[in-house]
Structure 1
Amino acid sequence: MKRETVKLYDLNSKLRTFQARVLECVPEKDRFLVILDRTAFFPEGGGQPSDRGVLNFANVLDVQEKDGIVYHTSDRSFQPGEMVSGGIDWPRRFGLMQQHSGEHIVSGLAHRLFGLDNVGFHMSETSLTVDLNGELSAEDLALIERLANRAVWQNLAVKVSYPSAQELGRIPYRSKKELTGRVRIVEFPGYDICACCGTHVERTGEIGAVKMLSSQRYKGGTRLTMACGGQALRDYGERVNSVSAVSALLSAKPAEIEQSVERVLRENADLKRRLSALRTEIFRLKAGAIAPGCGNILIFDDDLTPDELRRFALILSERCFATAAVFSGDDSKGYRYAVSDPANDARPYAKELSAAFSGRGGGPKELVQGSVSGLQKEIKLFFEQRAFRCRET
């Protein structure tokens, strides 16, 4: 039976470099699985990604643990018995420690204040998500954020312990599953007590800041997206830059951006309504150039939206008292279409066009819409064979 790896990260979460002896090095595809007698590399677990770093001149790309043994994925091989120097990517690790510690405080507050459990979380390079098994209002989240940052400002000492089974029975700790054996308890005094294998800051002040970025309903509960420490600072900087850029574009003070954007949106909506009315008038003028009751008609027009295709087809079919087909697009990207008939069922056209031109479409019998891939001359031939006359606009 292999000896368990000595986990230096459990003893000192701020250990950045260490020396160890190689016990095994096993090739795996174009990589190598390296087992050391001890390591400061944290393996993926408890929602926290694994560390990255180096062993001598080799890159450590991933770290996993199985049955107490830590496996380091390396891009170079080592000889068993060889002594190596290891160094972890500290900025990355510290950022993960800030996130993980901030998550503990937020989850602990959600549990204490609202009786909700953390049922899952994920950490990335830019933010972390926390899934809670109940809904929280904007006011609830603002309260959690305010109290979480109070915990940061208090600069509390984070306590890590391995209580006996008897002691564990008296501790009201959070855990997603029933635990047995040696249990590692992480406590943020007054805010959270949780069974956790991850790495954390030594004092809450090292978290820097806790910021809620967004929330959404998720599987009957709430999914929070938040940032801590360096992440929160980067996010704040990005938002300030964005606000400054929008402020300059709108010639408005940052505090007045919301009202300015609302004004621009109203003006834009009004312009869209006016443009729509003008486009409809253009369609009527184009239709007016066609003799009433002229029969089935096919028209190609430029840069029409699906809504404009629909309106033009309806106007044309009323004018010609027959079926009107309108296409817009080009041979390279394909065409969108609308086919309308006030008296006959237009749905067969959608089915036939889809079969002939690898397209898709459908709709009620009065009007069908869709898209096709093909050449304009082939589409014209398709409709000429069905007694349609093609008109240029």
Structure 2
Amino acid sequence: MRLALALAAVVLAGGVVRADEKPLRIGVLNDQSGIYADMAGPGSVIAAKMAVEDFGGTVLGRPIEIIAGDHQNKPDVGSALVNRWIDEDGVDVITDIPTSSVLLAVQEIGRKKNKLVLASTGGSSDFTGKACAPTGIHWTYDTYALAAGTGKSLAKDGPWFFITADYAFGAALERDTSKAVEQSGGKIVGAVKHPQGTTDFSSYLLQAQGAGAKLIAFANSGADQVNAIKQANEFGIPQSGIKLAGLYLHITDIHAIGLPTAQGLILTQGFYWDLNDETRAWSKRFYERHKAMPTMGQAGTYSSILHYLKAVKATGATDTAKVVVEMKATPVDDFFSHGGRIREDGRMVHDLYLLQVKAPAEQKYPWDYLKLIRVIPGDEAFRPLNEGDCPLVTKEAANRTAQ
């Protein structure tokens, strides 16, 4: 089997595969070694394997394979890999997909070739807005939800200044958060964009200070956000009275930053490993394999694949249209969400969590980093159906949500 740019291909079913048993193949597409590898990367592949194993390893008499590929955060690389997967290797589903520019490119491939795209770590709310597709489902979070959580909660702590990653995700996160801040009575005094993979944020931080900001919001992610927050603390910015807001922080980012530096930060998550007995039980299994607690995107990758496989079994087919209808008709029921639902626009609606990073003295055990401020109900967290400009949404459905 030839897989350009593929990193791994693992058959998870037991026993010998007969020639007439065509595998059901699921492709996990993400950044395997770059700035987003900790929040997705190999951990998402492990989560996908766990979902297949927990399901039983086969469906409709077919073994299930997980294939992993590195898109290198480049839309052209990701698109080439996905096209090869679909055209030559029979991949049925593409999942995970951090880096929104790659995600939106893959959305168009899924639309054209009628293949399911299950987004977990890519965040642009345009995925279920103007770029929505009948083959695309957004699982874990999006930029609107982050804005509805962190943006609204800190709206009046400004004036705000954005330091934003210069690609689709950063633009969407700044746009959605700015709107939430201003609607909540906050003020924006400026913004600056930086290239992906920036290591020196000093000039951007100086611009924020010069603009009179009282809150610097980092509309970036992964190593970019970790470096930005660390450097802001090295320059004494929080000590000067200016607050920091990491708009897209993960548990792995807090681990990299450390509690002494990250303490007090507010973040919005679609999942936290230490919420309840169910999340702890699954996360400890994940930790045994990965030696790090799962991010919300990694947990979402597991949940989305498990829900997909349940739909395949229920319909007795892998036809994309039939499976999507079943997925939308059936509530999500696992440790990630009980009662989550998939709307017409492909948005999986579920509760989110507003959390705060603990002070070092509050930590009781390893990876005990966050405390819950409040649960954000899904209908409050995610953009109303009638506001996304998704062409799949009927006028009747849009009117219902507007009432």
TM-score range, shorter chain: under 0.3
- TM-score between the two structures when normalised by the length of structure 1: 0.23
RCO higher in 1 or 2 (8 Å CA, sep ≥ 6)?
2
* Bigger fraction of residues in strand: 1
Q: Please identify which structure carries the higher helix content.
A: 2
Of structures 1 and 2, the larger Rg is shown by: 1
